[in-house]
Chain A
């Protein structure tokens, strides 16, 4: 089955810095890669996703890049703000599987 590794587990940055979280996956048939944000005490919510036919996708300060050859995808947050502090989860699925495999999460702390 699919295996997703997510790094780092904790990321601490100063407000205004950029943050990058990377996930690697094992199943080359996976074709859908969402990212979820979970603020403290709240439910995870989708913030951005990318499909295997696209290399990069942006939405304001966040972007996701996908390298199919290397089987990794990354979340980029620019100009970080304290409200970006949360746990971020990546996931991979598709290619015949109808269940996602999640990474273990990254706790992002943005210091004012």
Chain B
């Protein structure tokens, strides 16, 4: 079974803090993705990576950056958290079939 894990299920941060969300997959997938899920807006792609140290912007990259130093690990970074980044963040890996992590619900106060 493919396993995709995320570092936190719930996170509360203050405005202006730097936030790190980490995702790890154990299936040797080249492609990894970060999505943001908001009610009524579905899954919006923030960034994706198709190889180590390679990254591409998705539909809503503003205010986010990513890091992929190892194949199994893909990190999402909020350089200076803002209240409008309060959301559910989902990591996924896979080629066609997307295997999702459990999600991190982030609250920025």
Residues of A that sit less than 8 Å from B by CB: 6, 9, 32, 34, 36, 42-46, 49, 89, 91, 93-94, 98-100, 102-105
Contact = CB atoms under 8 A, between A and B. Distances in A.
Contacts of B103: 43
A100 B50 contact: no
B98 A104 contact: no
B12 interface: no
25 contacts: A32-B96, A34-B97, A34-B98, A36-B98, A43-B100, A43-B102, A43-B103, A44-B98, A49-B96, A89-B42, A91-B98, A94-B96, A98-B95, A99-B45, A99-B48, A99-B56, A99-B58, A100-B98, A102-B42, A102-B43, A104-B40, A104-B41, A104-B42, A105-B42, A105-B43
Contacts of A36: 98
Interface of B: 31, 33, 40-43, 45, 48, 50, 56, 58, 90, 95-98, 100-103
Contact of A49 (B90, B97, B100): B97
Nearest to B9: A41
Contact of A46 (B45, B97, B101): B97
A104 B38 CA distance: 10
Given A34-B96, A43-B90, 5 more contacts: A42-B102, A44-B98, A46-B97, A99-B56, A104-B42
